[in-house]
Structure 1
Amino acid sequence: MASPIDNIKEAFDGFVEVVNDVAILVNEGPASYPGLYATIKDIHSAILPVGYSLLTLYFLLDFFSKTVNFQFFKWETVVSCCVKLIFAKFIMEHAFDLLDAIFAISAHITNMVGLQGSNANIYVDYDAIEEEYNSLGWFDKKFFAIKLLPFEICIWVIKVVIILVVFGRLFELMIYTAVSPIPISTAINDNLNGTAKRFILDYAAVCLQGIIIIIGCIVYIAISANITLGSFTGNGANMALWKGVLSALALLIVVIKSNSWAKKLTGA
């Protein structure tokens, strides 16, 4: 039967594995899952005619608006409108490739950042915990196991939430890619093209979120390996446990806030 020390070791070792899994999942986009990628592409192709219809509608609205205001008496306005139509059509046709390219750039950056942090080692000293546990009697050992239980539960909850956020980001990438023709169609209209710009910025922010998560994982590794959290964590076994939980909570905050931070950085 596993001792409480084995259980707490398993909890923290499992969290380290989650950090490594997150580093892999962050670099996985729709193209990483061929069957799913084909489904997303089919949805994109089905929505594409709707995008073309909206593109035509927004162009006509822009055309009539400028005609009513007599703006087409200026040749530069006519040329500008035609160039915008050609450009918007090109973007519409290559929206799937454009989003893939943005994700590929972010994945390349996360790979570079990940390589820089790959040599870091996580070290948690369990000696103080084992020494304290072995010095206790039978009843006190049971009570000690109960005291360790909240730490195990806390680590388990943190792991689940982090994985959910990372998988949620993957879903967001897929949905953005699938429905991209609809927001991009607004690029043709002067009054509505802010929607297309925000869409591209939002997608870039989701990609940047992955970079922030990777950096957070590397910082977590550094904290776990090198930083003593001070008198707040206490001494002995208490210090080792609190150090692990607090650093895991810090990573959780980074992962949860990564989306809003990415949007601020991209201006989305």
Structure 2
Amino acid sequence: MSDNWVVRNLENALETWNDKLTEIWGLLTATPEEFKGGKIWNVILDINGALQVIGTALLVLFFVVGVMKTCGSFAEVKKPEHALRLFIRFALAKGAITYGLDLMLSLFKIVQGTISTIMNSAGFGQANETTMPQEMITAIENCDFFESIPLWAVTLIGSLLITVLSFIMIMTVYGRFFKLYMYTAIAPIPLSTFAGEPSQHVGRSFIKSYCAVCLEGAIIVLACVIFSLFAASPPQVDTTAPAVTMVWKYVGELIFNMLVLVGAVKTSERIVREMMGL
């Protein structure tokens, strides 16, 4: 790291950005069981198991309400084909509550496989780091004290924006994990709605919403891959321009690329929901 205070200011911000991007890369390939050592997952499992009792009670309620709304009379219920259909619906709904956790984990693993395929196809084992061009570092180090004052102002603003963007991005990825945990914990209650035909749309919406949260990871990975390609080809540095102009153009283009990445990460939920028709 350079001893120049202007260069060091910008390098610290880029180091924060690279650290957060690496952390995001690791989070997107992690499973809920591995996140934070699995302590959160164990609590979620306990909550899910406790809510299965409530889900089973609601299962009976939704089933009875569904029978009352879909059957015109008791004689209709006694018809073999209708009774069989009701029995199959009840059994499937009970299975969804009992094995819903396994189903959700299977869906998550499918999406994780998609994420791994995207990474392998792009040829990225990790996100590319964003670094300052050596030409710009040399130009800054050759400036005297008074020339460094406007440079310090430019890099201070740029560093602040880069740091804020890095934390916004990591908070979005952490938010995805929170949503995964909440969906998993509360799953038995919405899954119980499959027992009644009038209420089954709630269960379908829940499954589609959970799939959307899982697929957010794939959209975020795509955004990170695209940004990594930008990072591999950093903004051009005009060595003939004054140091202030050189730094201003570089920082401006760099922040623009970062804004595009953060925007893609922040809108990943909306993109996936639009794709799934939610």
- TM-score > 0.5, shorter chain as reference: yes
Q: Cα deviations across residues 211-230 of structure 1 (Å, max 9, x unaligned)? A: 11011000001122237589
The 1-side partners of 2:24 and 2:178 are apart by 15
Alignment partner, residue 124 of structure 2: 118
Alpha-carbon RMSD across the aligned residues, in angstroms, is 2.4
The 2-side partners of 1:143 and 1:227 are apart by 23
The residue identity in structure 2 corresponding to 1:212 is: I
Cα shift at 1:16: 2.2
The answer on whether the counterparts of 1:124 and 1:240 sit within 8 Å (CA) in structure 2 is: no
The answer on whether the counterparts of 1:117 and 1:218 sit within 8 Å (CA) in structure 2 is: no
The answer on whether the counterparts of 1:124 and 1:225 sit within 8 Å (CA) in structure 2 is: no
Instruction: Give ranges in structure 1 of 5+ residues lacking alignment.
Output: none
Alignment partner, residue 109 of structure 2: 104
Alignment partner, residue 87 of structure 1: 92
TM-score w.r.t. the length of structure 1 is: 0.90
Alignment partner, residue 77 of structure 1: 82
The 1-side partners of 2:166 and 2:42 are apart by 30
Cα shift at 1:121: 4.4
Cα shift at 1:128: 4.2
Q: Cα deviations across residues 137-196 of structure 1 (Å, max 9, x unaligned)? A: 312212311121110000000111111111111011001000000100101111110110
Alignment partner, residue 212 of structure 1: 219
Q: Cα deviations across residues 200-219 of structure 1 (Å, max 9, x unaligned)? A: 11111000000110110000
Q: Cα deviations across residues 18-61 of structure 1 (Å, max 9, x unaligned)? A: 21211111233321132222111110111111100100000011
Kindly report which structure 2 residues correspond to 1:105-184, keeping only aligned pairs within 5 A, or say none. Answer: 105-115=110-120, 116-118=122-124, 121-122=128-129, 124-184=131-191
The 1-side partners of 2:195 and 2:254 are apart by 53
Instruction: Give ranges in structure 2 of 5+ residues lacking alignment.
Output: none
The residue identity in structure 2 corresponding to 1:263 is: R
Query: CA 1:9 to 1:56, structure 2 compared with 1: closer, same or farther past 3 Å?
Result: same
> SS state of the match for residue 23, structure 2?
helix
The answer on whether the counterparts of 1:132 and 1:237 sit within 8 Å (CA) in structure 2 is: no
Alignment partner, residue 14 of structure 2: 12
The 1-side partners of 2:47 and 2:70 are apart by 34
The 2-side partners of 1:136 and 1:230 are apart by 16
The 2-side partners of 1:78 and 1:51 are apart by 23
Alignment partner, residue 199 of structure 1: 206
> SS state of the match for residue 198, structure 2?
coil
Judge which range, 208-217 or 58-67, deviates more: 58-67
Count residues with an aligned counterpart.
266
The residue identity in structure 2 corresponding to 1:20 is: T
The answer on whether the counterparts of 2:158 and 2:255 sit within 8 Å (CA) in structure 1 is: yes
The 2-side partners of 1:117 and 1:199 are apart by 34
